[in-house]
Amino acid sequence: MGQCRGPAPAACGGPPSFINMKLLVVAVGHRMPDWVVEGYNEYAQRMPRALRIDLKEIKPASRSRGDFALVEKWLSVEAERIRDALPEHCFKVVLDEKGKLFTTRDLARRIENWKQDGRDIAFVIGGADGTEHQLQQQADMLLSLSPMTLPHGLCRVVLAEQLYRAISLSAGHPYHRE
């Protein structure tokens, strides 16, 4: 029987190997409240070394108070900034309340499938007005964390926790209980 080398691959009884895949959260908004930063960091820091979550904060478009006629323009500016931040050839998952709803187990399976593909995965969180319709159409997937509208800062925390939970489930870690 051969010996296992390097990080503990799944075939050797260790956690799944994610060497070729990176997770990126591209989120509109900066200067988040402390509770958002602390909550996101809590779960991002728990991720295995081989599968870190990187956060790329996108500066929101400048908004005029009360001039909601310009929402499409603001969304367009933010969408362009998001596109500039995305790695080439990544699998784009845009978060939206009208997206697909997954259980944690579904997300764990999906991550395992993405791992086989070898592409980086970018999760896009829009700002106060959501994301541009064209950006949603260009996404490989629309994902919903909830059918309710959530504050974009809270989405960061929930997404980081669910990614950690899904990875823990795949690795057989007891964090997830059903």
The CATH number of the domain where 106 resides is what? 3.40.1280.10
CA torsion sign for 101, 151, 111, 124 is positive
Domain presence at residue 150:
yes
Domain that holds residue 142: 21-58+73-170
Work out how many domains the chain is built from and give that number: 1
Q: pLDDT for 53-100, tens place per residue?
A: 999 999 999 877 766 678 889 999 999 999 999 999 999 999 999 999
Domain presence at residue 178:
no
> How many whole angstroms separate alpha carbon 155 and alpha carbon 161?
10
The angle subtended at Cα 160 by Cα 43 and Cα 153, nearest 5°, is 110
Domain presence at residue 2:
no
Domain presence at residue 102:
yes
Domain presence at residue 43:
yes
Domain presence at residue 108:
yes
Domain presence at residue 124:
yes
Domain presence at residue 1:
no
- What confidence score (pLDDT) does residue 1 get? 38
Which stretches of the chain drop beneath a pLDDT of 70? Answer: 1-20, 66-68, 176-178
> How many whole angstroms separate alpha carbon 86 and alpha carbon 56?
9
pTM for this entry: 0.85
In the sheet that holds 23-28, the strands lie side by side as: 53-58, 23-28, 121-125, 91-101, 141-144
- What confidence score (pLDDT) does residue 6 get? 35
Residues 6+ apart with CB under 8 A from 140: 91, 92, 93
- What confidence score (pLDDT) does residue 4 get? 31
